[in-house]
Amino acid sequence: MGIIKVENIRVFAYHGCLTEETIIGSDYRVDIKVKADLQKSANSDDLKDTVDYVFLNRVIREEMAKPSHLLETVAKRILTRIFTEDKLITVATVAVSKINPPIGGDVEMVTIEITEKRKSVSK
- For the question of residue 123 being annotated catalytic, the response is no
Q: Compute the distance between CA of residue 28 and CA of residue 61 in angstroms, rounded to an integer.
A: 11
Kindly tell me the burial class for residue 112, based on how many C-beta atoms sit within 10 Å of its own C-beta (0-12, 13-18, 19 or more). Answer: middle
**Residue 99 three-state SS:** strand
The residues, ordered by sequence, that sit 6+ positions from 33 with a Cβ below 8 Å of its Cβ are: 3, 4, 5, 92, 93
The single residue of 33, 40, 76, 98 carrying the catalytic annotation is 98
Catalytic residue ranges = 98
